Amino acid sequence: MSKYFHSKDNVMMLHDVHARINNIKRRIDDIYQNKSKYGIQQGDFESHTENEEFAKDSLIARRKE
């Protein structure tokens, strides 16, 4: 009997994880579809991933728009 409840908990947890992943994917798709609205250009962060100052300045500039 405890195996049944344990399995049920796992299924519920996996369902929650699946729903969260789908939500994240939708949000990423929305951002990608609206990249011009947010001022995101191809390659903005590709060569600057380790440059925190660039990311900070870029974010500040986007917030001012």
User: How far is Cα 59 from Cα 51, in angstroms, rounded to an integer?
Assistant: 13
Q: Find the helix or strand (DSSP H, E) in which 26 lies.
A: helix 2-33
Q: What is the pTM of this model?
A: 0.48
Helix%, strand%, coil% for the chain, nearest 5 = 75, 0, 25
pLDDT at 4: 54
pLDDT at 44: 54
Mean pLDDT, residues 15-28:
94
Residue pair 37/27 in contact by the 8 Å Cβ criterion: no
pLDDT digits (tens, 9 = 90+) for 22-65: 999 999 888 888 877 777 776 655 554 556 677 777 777 777 76
CB contact set of 62 (below 8 Å; sequence gap of 6+): 38, 39
> Residue 15 — very low, low, confident or very high, per pLDDT cuts 50/70/90?
very high
